[in-house]
Amino acid sequence: MFKARSATVTVDALYKGNPKKVNVIELEKTDEGWKIS
């Protein structure tokens, strides 16, 4: 399972070069795993 830090790093990598987009993304930990809310 992902740790919170791992999820954050993944989001930073996906949205590299667009910091404003990173700021509006939140991750929710669900029974199925991490999802973007």
Q: What is the pLDDT of residues 8-35, one digit of tens each?
A: 666 666 666 665 655 555 666 677 777 6
Does 6 score more than 70 pLDDT?
A: no
In order of 2, 11, 17, 29, the CA distances from 20 in angstroms are 24, 12, 9, 22
pLDDT at position 21: 59
**Which among 18, 34, 36 is positioned nearest to 26, based on CA atoms?**
36
Give the residue carrying structure tokens 């809310």. 37
pLDDT at position 31: 76
pLDDT at position 11: 67
pLDDT at position 15: 64
pTM: 0.20
